[in-house]
């Protein structure tokens, strides 16, 4: 049973990349549909709607980031992979914020992005404001990322 530590730690890392990644993929896809619709009417708006489409994509990157830091901390990328069960579970828990909030916020952000794409389609000069609405949602992904990262670094220093 003591060998299970690494399993839980890896599960956490994988979940982080997985759920945030799936959320971002769905979000970018959703926004992409709306963006493509705008470009059929006016190809000149491609640059602007592309930026808006990409906004829900960052959660996937945060997931990757957490996964990578976890992988290097638990020694899967070279080094010894000896960690206790308790520590493995701690890593698992540390990855949950970005996994769950990442997924949810990517979808929420995608909906805001779709609405903003609609805004830009009608009033291209309001691009600056249109960009802010999806960015507001991202705050929560960033806060979750912060908690995940700080926890992971903190766990490394704990001795159990």
Partner 1 sequence: MAVLPMQRMELCALKINRKKILEMLQRRGVVEVHDDPQDDDVFRKTDTASARAVLEKGITASRESLKILNRYAPEPGSPFSALEGRKATTVERYDSFAEQRDSVLQLAYRLSSLEEEIQESRTEIPKLQIQTEALEPWKDFELPLNFSGTKKAAAFIGVLPPGTQKEALEEQLNAAGADAVSVEIVSSSPEQTCVMVLCMRTAAHAAEDCLRELGYAKPAVAPPVPPAEQLKKIQGTVEALTQKAQQAQEEIIRHRDARENLKFMLDYYTMRFEKYGVISRLSQSRKTFLLTGYLPAREAGALQEELDASFPVAVKFETPGEEEDVPVLLCNNGFAEPVESVVESYSLPGKGETDPTAVMSIFYYVMFGMMLSDAAYGALLTGICGYCLYRFQNMEKKMRNTLKMFLFCGISTVFWGVMYGSYFGDVVDVVSKTFFGTHLTIPPLWFAPLNQPMRMLMFCFIIGLVHLFTGLAMKLYQLARAGQYKDILYDVIFWYALIISLIVLLLGQKTFANISGASIVLPGPVSNTASAVAVVSAVGIILTGGRESRNWFKRVLKGLYSLYNITGYLSDVLSYSRLLALGLATGVIATVINQMGSMSGGGVVGAIVFVIIFILGHTLNIGINMLGAYVHTNRLQFVEFFGKFYSGGGRKFRPFAVNTKYYKFREDHKNG
**Footprint on this chain of partner 1 (rule: CB under 8 A):** 51, 54-55, 57-58, 61-62, 64-65, 68-69, 77, 125-129, 131-132, 135-136, 138-139, 142-143, 145-146, 149-150, 153
Q: Which is nearer to partner 1, 39 or 71 (CB)?
A: 71
The answer to whether the beta carbons of residues 34 and 91 sit under 8 Å apart is no
The least distance separating partner 1 from the CB of residue 87, rounded to whole angstroms, comes to 19
The least distance separating partner 1 from the CB of residue 2, rounded to whole angstroms, comes to 29
Q: Which is nearer to partner 1, 3 or 153 (CB)?
A: 153
The least distance separating partner 1 from the CB of residue 109, rounded to whole angstroms, comes to 11
Q: How far apart are CA 134 and CA 116, in angstroms?
A: 8
Q: Which residue has the tokens 């220093």?
A: 157
Question: Whats the size of the chain, residue-wise?
Answer: 160
Q: Which is nearer to partner 1, 5 or 105 (CB)?
A: 105
Number of Cβ within 10 Å of residue 28's Cβ equals 22
Q: DSSP string spanning 102-146?
A: HHHHHHHHHHHHHHHHHHHHH-GGGHHHHHHHHHHHHHHHHHHHH
Q: Which is nearer to partner 1, 19 or 148 (CB)?
A: 148
């Amino acid at each position: 049973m003591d060998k299970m530590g690494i399993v839980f730690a890896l599960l956490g890392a994988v979940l982080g990349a997985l759920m945030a990644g799936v959320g971002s993929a769905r979000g970018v896809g959703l926004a992409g549909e709306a963006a493509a619709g705008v470009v059929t009417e006016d190809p000149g708006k491609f640059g602007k709607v592309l930026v808006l489409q990409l906004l829900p994509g960052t959660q996937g990157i945060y997931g990757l980031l957490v996964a990578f830091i976890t992988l290097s901390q638990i020694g899967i990328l070279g080094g010894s992979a000896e960690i206790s069960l308790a520590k493995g579970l701690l890593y698992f828990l540390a990855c949950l914020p970005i996994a769950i909030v990442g997924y949810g916020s990517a979808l929420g952000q995608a909906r805001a992005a779709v609405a903003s794409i609609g805004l830009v389609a009608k009033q291209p000069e309001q691009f600056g404001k249109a960009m802010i609405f999806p960015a507001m949602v991202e705050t929560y992904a960033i806060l979750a990322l912060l908690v995940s990262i700080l926890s992971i670094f903190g766990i490394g220093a704990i001795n159990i």
